[in-house]
Structure 1
Amino acid sequence: MKRIAVFCGSSNGASPMYIEEAKSLGKEMAKREIELVYGGSCVGLMGAVADAVLENGGKAIGVLPDFLAEKEIAHKQLSELIVVKTMHERKAKMAELADGFITLPGGAGTMEEFFEIFTWGQLGLHQKPCGILNINNYYEPLIRLIHHMADAAFLQEKFRDMALVDATSAGLLNQFNTYKAPTVKVFLNEQQT
């Protein structure tokens, strides 16, 4: 795996564990020579993971919409900063560059990024691993929701465990090495034929 896109908050969060584990992920990625692709910001968990990658000799590629670059939150020390016009272009570029995706704690924007890439995986638009770094059990409600969707038959059973979950960076990256994408989503009219 050459590059991983990381989705995470532009805030630090309430617990110092969030920043510590974001740094741990960055360090682990640099150690494994995995390049970071992320939102390009210097603040919050985004800045922490990028700083850790760079401080440990790794490469960090930021993808930032121009309206956010104008607010001076662009990370100034990145290996590469790609400025795009829209949030849609940002996500598309990150997906194009990445061989896998990791979601750290974050808010609505992080959830939107996670669910879009998760959905694209179901539809067969990519076969790349999607992981959740469950720092301090932050994502327990989301994990329960995914299982609830499967139990209620709104998520096909084969996608129940498509999002890999671990509490440690090393454990999650190890799971990426053995990931096998599920087959593409079957639609209702296909099931009836």
Structure 2
Amino acid sequence: MKIAVFCGSSLGNDERFAQAAGAFGQYMASQGMDLVFGGGKVGLMGVVADAVLAGGREVYGVIPESLRDRELAHQGLTRLDVVSSMHERKALMADMADAFVALPGGPGTMDEIFEAWTWGQLGYHSKPCAFYNVDGYFDELLAFIRKMSGAGFLKPEYAEMVIVKDQPAALVSALKSYQPPSRKWS
């Protein structure tokens, strides 16, 4: 299984984020899973990639040329694809991955996981989408998702299709057993 991980290009201001990112990468590797990610050597992205590599697994990076040229690309990957835009990056990552997981991060992380989730809702793929909720990082976002559903903008089955776990083993187990809801407007 190849898991696309979306997460911060910085470490954040709490060392628990980096510790959790490393633990998730280690657990992925111990379960024979490979990583698809944004290709950067910085922040939580670099921590996850290094942990998966240290565990002897494959790591596939996808990075836009403009970011590679700023020397942000991780040089020790199994493969690094250089693309021309963020749109190409997300599309290639989606094609390569069997599942999508968001770790703590900023707007880029939210953009990536919400796009993958939307594509799943629309039936463009049937892959699981998940939040690794490190120390409650996503709690307010999850409350807002419930608000969207309660306000009638998101059917409950599509709100519930997103996996939320705070431990690597539980998260990976849920990814493996995921059953998608019926496609929207099918």
TM-score normalised to the size of structure 1?
0.95
User: What are the superposed Cα offsets for residues 141-169 of structure 1, whole Å, 9 maximum, x if unpaired?
Assistant: 11111111110010012112111000011
How do residues 49-128 of structure 1 correspond to structure 2 at under 5 angstroms? 49-128=48-127
Aligned residue number for residue 16 of structure 2 = 17
Q: Which runs of 5+ in 1 are unaligned?
A: 188-193
Distance in 2 separating the partners of 1:177 and 1:62: 22
Which residue type is aligned with residue 81 of structure 2?
I
| Structure 2 residue 166 is the aligned partner of structure 1 residue 167 | yes
Distance in 2 separating the partners of 1:93 and 1:160: 25
Q: Which runs of 5+ in 2 are unaligned?
A: none
TM-score normalised to the size of structure 2?
0.98
Aligned residue number for residue 144 of structure 2 = 145
| Structure 2 residue 2 is the aligned partner of structure 1 residue 6 | no
**Matched residue of 2:170: which SS?**
helix
User: What are the superposed Cα offsets for residues 38-89 of structure 1, whole Å, 9 maximum, x if unpaired?
Assistant: 0000000000000000111111100000000000010010111010000000
Distance in 1 separating the partners of 2:40 and 2:138: 23
Aligned residue number for residue 190 of structure 1 = none
Number of matched pairs: 186
Structure of higher CA gyration radius: 1
Q: Note the aligned Cα RMSD (angstroms).
A: 0.9
Which residue type is aligned with residue 85 of structure 1?
S
CA contact (8 A) 1:42 1:74 kept: yes
Aligned residue number for residue 47 of structure 2 = 48
Aligned residue number for residue 38 of structure 1 = 37
Distance in 1 separating the partners of 2:69 and 2:180: 38
Which residue type is aligned with residue 2 of structure 2?
R
Q: CA deviation at 1:30?
A: 0.7
CA contact (8 A) 1:65 1:83 kept: yes
Q: CA deviation at 1:186?
A: 3.0
Which residue type is aligned with residue 55 of structure 2?
N
Distance in 1 separating the partners of 2:131 and 2:42: 20
**Matched residue of 2:113: which SS?**
helix
Distance in 2 separating the partners of 1:39 and 1:160: 26
Which residue type is aligned with residue 179 of structure 1?
Y
**Matched residue of 1:36: which SS?**
strand
